[in-house]
Amino acid sequence: MDQATFAAKPSSMKALREKFVQKVAPAISKVGEGRLTPDLMRRCLDEAAKGSGFGRFVFGNNYKMLPGRGDAGMFYVVRIHRDFKDTSGYKPEILKFAKFSSVEAAVKAWCKSRGL
């Protein structure tokens, strides 16, 4: 992921959206063919767009930040949050997210998690 994608300016958001749709939409239609209705495919694309900031915040092809283990393993995110009960005041939390080998594998896992 390059720095330009991370620090997208508002003028380039349209280009970022188009690039995202060009990358993710074919995988959704390929995996969802015969399995998902057009409305579910659209919702899948919308959730992936919102969850990843149109592809700006994607790790391991996991556009929906699915927890657990994917076909390519998992990655960890450490989140520090305020803990008022602890004397130190801050508590780390380790979150585990699935890593996928391709966008198609990620969409299949999303469908499976939805029971589709």
Q: Over the chain, what HEC string results?
A: CCHHHHCCCHHHHHHHHHHHHHHHHHHHHHHHCCCCCHHHHHHHHHHHHHHHCCCCCCCCCCCCCCECCECCEEEEEEEEEECCCCCCCEEEEEEEEECCCCHHHHHHHHHHHCCC
pLDDT reported for residue 1? 45
- For the chain, the average pLDDT equals 80
pLDDT tens digits for range 39-93: 888 888 888 888 888 888 887 788 888 888 989 888 888 888 877 776 667 778 8
Judged against a pLDDT cut of 60, whether residue 10 lies above it is answered with: no
pTM of the predicted model as reported, rounded to 2 decimal places:
0.68
Judged against a pLDDT cut of 70, whether residue 7 lies above it is answered with: no
